[in-house]
């Protein structure tokens, strides 16, 4: 894990995928790296092996690595001493104009956004007018102080100090981690490296009843105050009505947000299948004028333009790191090929583990790739994530990490799913053309198993451009209407059967099919 105070801690499990990613983030930022082995008190801790791994991967000498047991306090004083000895003090000048780095923020009722700030230069005092370099909005400092460890008001902060600041900032979207603050009358150059959180996964949510739209809107506004990394935009669907399109950092982020929405605000919503953002190049002056640009971004698969006006399509790619035991090398290659991955490099960390560098389409690893990756370690993999950089999954046996790698041209198609001829907007998706038929067939089969049986037959179809890729039928409950007939003319039975068939046909035309909310995630995972 990476800390803003310029050190990296490595754990007893050894070098993980997220360890590699965060090490090079720190290395590229020219930060001082302080390697520490934690949990050395555990029976499974193999200090010598981990030291060799760190030497092979990061060229860190074993005598530079500190050993710690946080549980027993062993080596903690050595770490604190090393922080003082190895990490240089901040270079600051209190005579220069105020320049502060926002490294954390929280939202408190009646106070607004409370920012934690590292003062790089100058002085900031209560009553000063400050400006955000990112939003250009100005605020008056209401209170300022240090964390001791509680908030302790001091009235001012000097260069080199770290503390908190309250400035009547009403929304978390107005203050970003990594942003630079400065005095209103003394603009300064923003600190380098600031990158706003970039959503990677998008999904729509719609109220169960359109009368609950305003309540859902208010719930989203309150919830995003504490989570500004979630992007929110209005959306609409012919089948689902008016709703919202949300952007998340990852699938876990989306799941946690939806749970909070339901538990904290009692919001009953219809979620759509998660997807990624695609880019489409439009051809024809008339079409370009209609869409407002030659290249547009598609966040909702339902909004993908007609193929006849598309010149090129692009899908997001990710650069990933996979670490597995050497015994599973033969399982990784076919898994990467199945997900359209391109293996760039593979290298041994030590005698027991190997590291792969692979480029994947983001859509291929979004839902269940890590579950398949876990299966090669016989289910012993556990889950972890780094918050401030790439999305990461790290385990004792297996590790997986990925980061943004831009867009690449691709052959894409829109798959729509029909229930009795009605489009199921919640599951509309964009897929690579080579995988459309397989994906359509798989999801149709899962829908048939997941949707409850009705009193009438339900046809489930997957279609691309009007062509049916797959079809299955959910058979209805059967009632024997001829049970009360004991002999007699056969025409009596035929009349009853005909009347039943007509009733089911009418029911099929007007009947609404209830689809459980959790079906959309279930059918997408293997």
Question: Is 40 annotated as a binding-site member?
Answer: yes
Phi, psi of 360, deg, nearest 5:
-120, 150
How many Å separate Cα 3 from the centre of its chain? 21
What DSSP state is assigned to residue 524?
T
| Distance of alpha carbon 153 from alpha carbon 143, whole angstroms | 7
Phi, psi of 70, deg, nearest 5:
-65, -30
Comparing CA positions, the residue from 466, 367, 477, 364 lying closest to residue 423 is 466
CB atoms within 10 A of CB 476: 15
Give CA angle at 384 (381, 385), nearest 5°. Answer: 145
Phi, psi of 241, deg, nearest 5:
90, -150
Question: Is 41 annotated as a binding-site member?
Answer: yes
Q: Give the tokens for residue 370.
A: 């890590």
370: preceding bond cis by omega (within 30 degrees): no
Q: Give the tokens for residue 246.
A: 């949300």
CB contact at 8 A, 432 and 338: no
| Distance of alpha carbon 152 from alpha carbon 162, whole angstroms | 12
496: preceding bond cis by omega (within 30 degrees): no
DSSP letters of 394-461?
E-SS-EEEEEEEEEEE--EEEEEEEETTEE-GGG-EEEEGGGHHHHHHHHHHHHHHHSPP-SS-EEEE
Measured between its terminal Cα atoms, the distance across the chain in Å is 30
Helix, strand or coil for residue 256?
A: helix
| Distance of alpha carbon 362 from alpha carbon 341, whole angstroms | 10
Strand order in the sheet with 269-271: 231-237, 241-248, 201-207, 269-271
**Which residue carries 């401030």 as its tokens?**
388
Mark the binding-site residues, compressed into ranges: 38-41
Mark the binding-site residues for GTP, compressed into ranges: 38-41
């Amino acid at each position: 894990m990476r800390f803003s105070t310029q050190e990296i801690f490595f754990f007893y499990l050894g070098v993980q995928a997220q360890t590699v990613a965060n090490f090079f983030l720190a290395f590229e930022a020219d930060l001082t790296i302080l390697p520490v082995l934690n949990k050395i008190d555990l029976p499974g801790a193999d200090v010598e092996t981990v030291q060799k791994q760190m030497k092979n991967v990061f060229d860190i000498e074993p005598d530079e690595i500190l050993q710690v047991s946080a549980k027993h306090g062993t080596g903690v004083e050595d770490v604190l001493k090393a922080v003082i000895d190895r990490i240089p003090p901040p270079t600051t000048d209190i005579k220069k104009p105020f320049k502060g780095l926002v490294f954390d923020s929280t939202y408190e009722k009646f106070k607004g956004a409370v920012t934690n700030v590292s003062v790089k230069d100058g002085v900031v005092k209560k009553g000063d007018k400050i400006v955000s370099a990112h939003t250009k909005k100005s605020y008056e400092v209401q209170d300022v102080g240090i964390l001791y460890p509680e908030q302790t008001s001091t009235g001012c902060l000097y260069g080199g100090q770290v503390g908190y600041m309250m400035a009547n900032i009403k929304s978390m979207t107005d203050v970003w981690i990594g942003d630079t603050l400065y005095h209103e009358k003394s603009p300064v150059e923003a600190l380098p490296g600031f990158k706003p959180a970039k959503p990677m996964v998008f999904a729509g949510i719609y109220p169960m009843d359109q009368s609950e739209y305003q309540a859902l809107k208010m719930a989203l506004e309150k919830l995003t105050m504490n989570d500004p990394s979630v992007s929110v935009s209005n959306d609409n669907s012919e089948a689902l009505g008016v709703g919202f399109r949300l952007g998340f950092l990852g699938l876990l982020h989306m799941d946690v947000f939806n749970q909070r929405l339901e538990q904290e605000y009692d919001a009953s919503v219809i979620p759509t299948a998660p997807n990624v953002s695609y880019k489409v190049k439009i051809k024809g002056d008339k079409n370009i004028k209609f869409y407002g640009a030659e290249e547009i971004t598609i966040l909702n698969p339902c909004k993908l333009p007609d193929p006849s006006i598309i010149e090129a399509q692009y899908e997001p790619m990710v650069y990933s790191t996979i670490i597995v035991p050497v015994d599973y090398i033969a399982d990784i290659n076919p898994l990467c090929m199945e997900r359209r991955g391109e293996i760039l490099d593979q290298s041994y960390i030590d005698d027991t583990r190997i590291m792969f560098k692979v480029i994947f389409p983001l859509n291929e690893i979004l839902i269940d790739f890590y579950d398949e990756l876990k299966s090669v370690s016989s289910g012993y993999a556990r889950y972890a994530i780094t918050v401030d950089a790439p999305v990461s999954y790290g385990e004792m046996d297996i590790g997986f990490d990925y980061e943004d790698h831009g867009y690449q041209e691709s052959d894409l198609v829109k798959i729509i799913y029909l229930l009795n001829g009605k489009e199921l907007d919640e599951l509309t998706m964009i897929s690579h053309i080579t995988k459309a038929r397989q994906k359509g067939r798989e999801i149709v089969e899962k829908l048939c198993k997941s949707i409850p049986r009705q009193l009438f037959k339900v046809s489930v179809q997957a279609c691309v451009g009007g062509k049916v890729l797959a079809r299955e039928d959910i058979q209805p409950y059967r009632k024997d209407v001829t049970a009360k007939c004991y002999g007699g003319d056969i025409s009596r039975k035929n009349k009853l059967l005909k009347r039943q068939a007509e009733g089911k046909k009418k029911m099929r035309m007007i009947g609404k099919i209830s689809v459980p909310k959790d079906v959309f995630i279930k059918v997408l995972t293997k």
